[in-house]
C-alpha cells in the first residue's frame, strides 16, 4: 500500500479539476441525501407545517393541473391566460412574488426585507412564469430521479409520475396570477373560449402571412390540439410564415430528408457508424411510450431520424436522451391523422397511409433538428450546455428559495446529480407525455429570435418549478 504521504498527494491532486468534470461529489463523506429513506419519511409522516408562513401552498402535480386553466389538453385554456403572455404582467408577478417570499423569509429570520430583489440574468427574468405559481414555501426537496429508483414498477408511460407527493397537506390557496379557478367557470363558457381561441389560431394560420409574433403570444398558454402541428412547424422555423410558400417548402424538405436517407442510411453498418447505429438500435426499444414506439414501423422511423441526425451532426453525434426528443414531434404530427378519440398509445401505425407516415417522419426530423440546433451544446463533449444550465438552475434557486438551496448544500447534494437528466432529456422522463407536449408549446415561443429555437430559459424556470414544488 502506498505511504500516507503519497495518498495525500493523490487526493490533493484530485481536488483540482479533472478534465471534463465541473465538481466533485463527496457523496459518502457525509451522510448523503438518502432518496429512499427520504421518500419513506415523506409518505409515512404527514408534515406538520413548522410555521404559519410555510403552511401556504403545497400542491401535487395533479392538483396544479386541475387548479390551473392551462391548456394541458387541447383548448382547455381561456382568455385570461392570454394576458399572462404579456411580459409586463409576468415581470410584475415575478417581482411581487419574489418580494413576498423575501419578506416572509426575512420575517422568519428577523431581518429587514431587502429593498431590491437581485436581478436575475436578463434572459431568465421575462420567462420566469412558473415559479410564481408555485413558489410555495415548501421546503421538501426530492429528486425525481429518485422516484425512478424507488418506485419499482414505474414506467415512463405512467401518467402520474409525480403523485407521490400526494400525501402532503393540500393547499388552501392555489392561484395562478390571480386567475379564477376553473371550477368557477361554467363548462359551456370554457368551451366557448376554447372555440374562440381555436378560431383565433385558425385565422392567424390562414392569413397570407401569419403574424408570428401574434402566434407566439397566443401559443404561450398552450396550443389547441387541432392547430398544434401547423403551429409547431411555424414556430420552430421549419415552415415559412407565407401561406403560399408552405406546401412547396414542405415538399422540398420532405424530399431532402429522404435524399439523406438514400444517401446515408446504408452506411449505418459501416465501421465508422456502427457504434452510433448500435446505440440507437438498443436504445429505442427501451423508450416510452412503448406501445407506439415498439411497433416495428415506428422503431424504424425513429432509427432513421436519429441516425441521420447523428451523422449530420458529428460534433455531438447521438447521445442518449436525444431519442426522447423525437417522441413529442412524432406524436403531435401523427395525431393530426388519427381520430380524435383514439389514444396515441393504441394507434396502429400500419393503418395510417404510407404517404402520411413518410411526411410525418420528415416533418419530425426537421422540427427535431430545429430544436436541437438551439441546444446542441447539451450533447457535445463534456456537455457544456447542461453544465451551464444546471449552474443557472442553481443560481435561480439560490435567489428565489435560499432555504431549499441551503438544504441541498447542507446535505451535499449537487444540482448536477438530480438536474442533469432534467436538462439532458428536457424533463421528458419527469413528466407524462401530454404535459411535455403542452410544455413544448411554450418552449417554442419562450425566447424571441434569433434564439427562437432555444428553450433554455423557460426550461430552467420549469426545472426550478419542479424542484420547488416536488
Partner 1 sequence: MAETYDFLFKFLVIGSAGTGKSCLLHQFIENKFKQDSNHTIGVEFGSRVVNVGGKTVKLQIWDTAGQERFRSVTRSYYRGAAGALLVYDITSRETYNSLAAWLTDARTLASPNIVVILCGNKKDLDPEREVTFLEASRFAQENELMFLETSALTGENVEEAFLKCARTILNKIDSGELDPERMGSGIQYGDASLRQLRQPRSAQAVAPQPCGC
Site for partner 1 in 141-170 (CB under 8 A): 141, 145-146, 148-150, 152, 155-156
Judged by CB under 8 A, the stretch of 3-11, 211-219, 227-235, 307-315 that binds partner 1 is 3-11
> Is 219 or 462 the residue whose CB approaches partner 1 more closely?
462
Minimum gap (Å) between residue 395 Cβ and partner 1: 19
* Nearest approach, Cβ of residue 67 and partner 1 (Å): 23
C-alpha cell at 339: 381520430
Our finding on whether 86 is near partner 1 (CB under 8 A) is no
Among the listed ranges 12-20, 233-241, 327-335, 437-445, the one in contact with partner 1 (CB under 8 A) is: 12-20
Return the residues of window 246-305 that contact partner 1 according to CB under 8 A: 279, 282-283, 286-288, 290
Q: Pick the piece of the chain touching partner 1 (CB under 8 A) from 20-28, 66-74, 111-119, 353-361.
A: 20-28
Where in 310-369 is the site for partner 1 (CB under 8 A)?
316-317, 319-321
Least distance (Å) from partner 1 to the CB of residue 416? 7
CB of 201 to partner 1, least distance (A): 35
Give the nearer residue to partner 1 in terms of CB position, either 219 or 378.
Answer: 378
Binders of partner 1 in range 115-144 (CB under 8 A): 138-141
Among positions 191-250, residues that touch partner 1 (CB under 8 A) are none
**Both ends of the chain: CA-CA distance in Å?**
46
By the rule CB under 8 A, 381 interacts with partner 1: yes
- Binding of partner 1 at residue 9 (CB under 8 A)? no
Enumerate residues 6+ apart whose C-beta is below 8 A from 134: 57, 59, 64, 465, 468, 469
Extract long-range pairs of 212-216: CB within 8 Å, 24+ residues apart.
212/241, 215/445, 216/444, 216/445, 216/448
- Residues of this chain, 42-61, that bind partner 1 according to CB under 8 A: 45, 50
Tell me phi and psi for residue 217, to 5 degrees.
-60, -45
**Complex with partner 1: residue 263 or 278, whichever CB lies closer:** 278
37 binds partner 1 per the rule CB under 8 A:
yes
Among 35, 132, 177, 328, binds partner 1 (CB under 8 A): 35
Q: What is the rounded distance in angstroms from the CA atom of residue 351 to the CA atom of residue 366?
A: 24
Closest to 142 (Cα-Cα) out of 38, 25, 32, 50: 38
Q: How far is the CB of 170 from partner 1 (least distance, A)?
A: 17
Q: Does 19 bind partner 1 (CB under 8 A)?
A: yes
Q: Which stretch binds partner 1 (CB under 8 A): 5-13, 197-205, 432-440, 443-451?
A: 5-13
Can you state the percent helix, strand and coil of the chain, rounding each to 5? 65, 0, 35
3-state SS, one letter per residue, for 17-85: CCCCCCCCCCCCCCCCCCHHHHHHHHHHCCCCCCCHHHHCCCCCHHHHHHHCCCCCCCCCCCHHHHHHH
Q: Does 429 bind partner 1 (CB under 8 A)?
A: yes
**CB 41, min distance to partner 1, A:** 8
For residue 429, the minimal CB distance to partner 1 (Å) is: 7
Q: Which residues lie below 8 Å from residue 191, measured CB to CB, with a gap of 6+?
A: 75
Angle between the N-to-C axes of helices 402-410 and 384-400, in degrees from 0 to 180, rounded to the nearest 10: 120
Which of 379, 252, 259 has its CA nearest to residue 313? 379
| Closer by beta carbon to partner 1, 22 or else 261 | 22
Of the CA atoms within 13 Å of residue 86, those in its CB half-sphere come to: 10
Which cell goes with 2?
502506498
| Contact by Cβ (8 Å): 11, 124 | no
Which CB sits closer to partner 1, 29 or 183?
Answer: 29
Binding of partner 1 by 106 (CB under 8 A): no
Would you say 71 or 397 has its CB closer to partner 1? 397
386-425 residues near partner 1, rule: CB under 8 A:
386-387, 403-404, 407, 410-412, 416-417, 420-421, 424-425
Contact flag: residue 436 with partner 1 (CB under 8 A): no
Of the candidates 345, 276, 323, the residue with the CA atom closest to the CA atom of residue 426: 323
Instruction: Please state, in angstroms and rounded to a whole number, the distance separating the CA atoms of residues 420 and 319.
Output: 13
Task: Name which of 71 and 404 has its Cβ closer to partner 1.
Answer: 404
Task: Report residue 316: phi and psi, to 5°.
Answer: -110, -40
Distance of CA 408 to the CA centre of its chain: 22
Interface with partner 1: number of residues (CB under 8 A) = 71
Instruction: Report if residue 372 touches partner 1, rule: CB under 8 A.
Output: no
Amino acid at each position: 500500500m502506498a505511504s500516507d504521504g503519497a495518498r495525500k498527494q493523490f487526493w490533493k491532486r484530485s481536488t483540482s479539476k479533472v478534465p471534463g468534470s465541473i465538481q466533485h461529489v463527496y457523496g459518502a463523506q457525509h451522510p448523503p441525501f438518502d432518496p429512499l429513506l427520504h421518500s419513506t419519511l415523506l409518505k409515512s409522516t404527514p408534515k406538520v407545517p413548522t410555521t404559519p408562513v410555510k403552511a401556504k401552498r403545497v400542491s401535487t402535480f395533479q392538483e396544479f393541473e386541475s387548479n390551473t386553466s392551462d391548456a394541458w389538453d387541447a383548448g382547455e385554456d381561456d382568455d385570461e391566460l392570454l394576458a399572462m403572455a404579456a411580459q409586463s404582467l409576468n415581470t410584475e408577478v415575478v417581482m411581487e412574488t419574489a418580494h413576498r417570499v423575501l419578506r416572509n423569509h426575512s420575517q422568519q429570520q428577523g431581518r429587514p426585507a431587502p429593498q431590491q430583489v437581485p436581478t436575475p440574468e436578463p434572459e431568465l427574468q421575462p420567462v420566469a412564469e412558473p415559479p410564481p405559481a408555485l413558489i410555495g414555501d415548501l421546503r421538501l426537496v426530492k429528486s425525481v430521479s429518485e422516484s425512478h429508483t424507488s418506485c419499482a414498477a414505474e414506467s415512463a408511460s405512467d401518467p402520474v409520475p409525480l403523485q407521490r407527493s400526494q400525501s402532503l397537506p393540500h393547499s388552501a390557496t392555489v392561484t395562478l396570477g390571480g386567475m379564477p379557478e376553473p371550477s368557477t367557470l361554467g363548462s359551456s363558457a370554457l368551451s366557448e373560449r376554447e372555440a374562440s381561441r381555436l378560431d383565433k389560431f385558425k385565422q392567424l394560420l390562414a392569413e397570407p402571412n401569419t403574424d408570428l409574433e401574434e402566434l407566439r403570444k397566443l401559443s404561450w398558454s398552450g396550443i389547441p390540439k387541432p392547430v398544434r402541428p401547423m403551429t409547431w412547424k411555424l414556430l420552430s422555423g421549419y415552415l415559412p410564415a407565407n401561406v403560399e410558400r408552405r406546401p412547396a417548402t414542405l415538399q422540398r424538405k420532405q424530399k431532402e430528408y429522404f435524399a439523406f436517407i438514400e444517401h446515408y442510411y446504408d452506411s449505418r453498418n459501416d465501421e465508422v457508424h456502427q457504434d452510433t447505429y448500435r446505440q440507437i438500435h438498443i436504445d429505442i426499444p427501451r423508450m416510452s411510450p412503448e406501445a407506439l414506439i415498439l411497433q416495428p414501423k415506428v422503431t424504424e422511423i425513429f432509427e432513421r431520424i436519429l441516425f441521420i441526425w447523428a451523422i449530420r451532426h458529428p460534433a455531438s453525434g447521438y447521445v442518449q436522451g436525444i431519442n426522447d426528443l423525437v417522441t413529442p414531434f412524432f406524436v403531435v404530427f401523427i395525431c393530426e391523422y388519427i381520430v380524435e378519440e383514439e389514444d396515441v398509445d393504441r394507434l396502429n401505425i400500419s393503418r395510417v397511409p404510407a404517404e402520411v407516415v413518410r411526411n410525418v417522419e420528415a416533418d419530425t426530423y426537421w422540427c427535431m433538428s430545429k430544436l436541437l440546433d438551439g441546444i446542441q451544446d447539451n450533447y457535445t463533449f463534456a456537455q457544456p450546455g447542461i453544465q451551464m444550465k444546471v449552474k443557472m438552475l442553481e443560481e435561480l434557486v439560490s435567489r428565489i428559495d435560499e432555504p431549499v438551496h441551503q438544504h441541498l448544500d447542507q446535505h451535499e447534494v449537487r444540482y448536477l446529480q438530480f438536474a442533469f437528466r432534467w436538462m439532458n432529456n428536457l424533463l421528458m422522463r419527469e413528466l407524462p407525455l401530454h404535459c411535455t407536449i403542452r410544455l413544448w408549446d411554450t418552449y417554442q415561443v419562450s425566447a424571441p429570435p434569433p434564439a427562437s429555437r432555444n428553450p433554455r430559459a423557460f426550461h430552467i424556470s420549469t426545472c426550478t418549478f419542479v424542484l420547488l414544488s416536488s
